[in-house]
Amino acid sequence: MQLSDFDFELPEGLIATRPARPRSSAKLLVAQAGGIVDAVARDLGGFLAPGDRLVLNDTKVLPARLDGTRPRAGTPGAQVEVTLLQPDTQGRWEALIKPLKRVALGEEIQFSNGLTAVLEVKHEGRATLRFNLEGAAFDAALAQAGRMPLPPYIAARRAADIEDETDYQTIWAREPGAVAAPTASLHFDDALMASLAAKGIETTHVTLHVGAGTFLPVKVDDVTTHRMHSEWGEVTEKAAAEIAATKAAGGRVIPVGTTALRLIESAARGGAIAPWRGDTDIFIYPGFEFHVTDALMTNFHLPKSTLLMLVSALMGQQRMRDIYAHAIAREYRFFSYGDASLLIPEDARAPDR
């Protein structure tokens, strides 16, 4: 299985740099047995049945991009950009620093009057920082000094601004820890949630803290040798019980986003969903056996990405080529702020109700 099998040509004009407004007005491509339907996100309930369950990732994106200075006596100091990646077990943060080679071990970086960090480790192009604050004090200082860590393909086109503080956050975000949004969930607003509840569509919350590794390119030609990045997640006892009850009752389990899918499949490696907590580096590509997922709502993904491999595992490689060709021809908007798809495998069982 070669990396080139997951490549496609995407016109630059289809890369979204702002979301649809309102959120649920985004286009929704529905791929199901019998063909492809062009709809909008607010129509989602029409393709689901009472008793189906949407699995939602409730991670909250941190304002993880920081502009800092390296103080120098009598000078304003050299500028550095820091992107936080994930905390370690010692209370420090793994981060990317530009330019890393200019910052010395033990050197202090100042981000605001109250927030500083010392560079303690350099390893394989990454840094480990120890901040001067912890807990709630750190969270408050980061909220003041940080910016939303927009994906590279948006950041290259424009800087983050105040609109991104809400645009790049789901309406149910509650567990801080992500440095990238679970973007399929950005299409949901209060009106859509109300319409789904009225139809009897159920929801379950799980947590996967999306890391910057989600944007890392695959660098091997044989995709089966790719090593996946690790992310922390949790499926609570309550969440596992709700998902299991839906499966037992004949309803469909539909994760919203590849992050929710990777998490529930990590929690179901034994064959059935169970409570689970820890780091997952699960890599899903064609040939993967799904134990919980019946369908998936997701955005349109980068060429040669692990996320495109994941949806190809669910739908089949040729089917995904056809879906993406349709999306490009109909000018769906791609990537994090783009439009959505509802992917229902052709051999998926129909809901019992």
- pTM, two decimals, is 0.92
Residues 6+ apart with CB under 8 A from 1: 222, 223, 224, 285, 286
Q: Mean pLDDT over residues 147-164, rounded?
A: 92
Q: Mean pLDDT over residues 336-348, rounded?
A: 92
* Percent of residues, the chain, with pLDDT higher than 90: 83
Task: For the chain, give the mean pLDDT.
Answer: 93
Count of C-beta atoms within a 10 Å radius of residue 108: 15
The rounded distance, in Å, linking the Cα atoms of 154 and 320 is 24
DSSP string covering 320-353: HHHHHHHHHHTTPPBSTTS-EEEE--TTPPPP--
Query: What is the pLDDT at residue 89?
Result: 78
Query: What is the pLDDT at residue 87?
Result: 85
Query: What is the pLDDT at residue 351?
Result: 54
Q: What's the pLDDT band for 90 if we cut at 50, 70, 90?
A: confident
Q: Judge whether 259 and 60 are in contact, CB under 8 Å.
A: no
Q: What's the pLDDT band for 353 if we cut at 50, 70, 90?
A: very low
Tokens describing residue 30: 């529905």
The rounded distance, in Å, linking the Cα atoms of 339 and 29 is 8
The rounded distance, in Å, linking the Cα atoms of 273 and 287 is 20
Range(s) within the chain of domains with CATH label 2.40.10.240:
65-146
Query: What is the pLDDT at residue 1?
Result: 87
Q: Mean pLDDT over residues 28-42, rounded?
A: 96
Query: What is the pLDDT at residue 74?
Result: 60
Taking alpha carbons only, the member of 209, 146, 215 closest to residue 173 is 209
Give the helix/strand (H/E) hosting 22.
none
Taking alpha carbons only, the member of 258, 254, 344 closest to residue 309 is 258
Q: Mean pLDDT over residues 293-303, rounded?
A: 97
Length of the chain, please? 353
Give CATH for domain 65-146: 2.40.10.240
β-bridge mates for residue 95, sequence order: 84, 127
Per-residue model confidence as pLDDT tens digits over 178-209: 999 999 999 999 999 999 999 999 999 999 99
Residue that has been written with the tokens 């289809």 in this structure: 14
Residue 112 has pLDDT above 50, yes or no: yes
Give CATH for domain 3-61+165-343: 3.40.1780.10
Q: Mean pLDDT over residues 239-256, rounded?
A: 98
Tokens describing residue 228: 């996946």
| Of 155 and 50, more confident | 50
Query: What is the pLDDT at residue 56?
Result: 98
Q: Measuring CA to CA, how many Å separate 22 from each of 27, 43, 44, 96? A: 11, 13, 15, 33
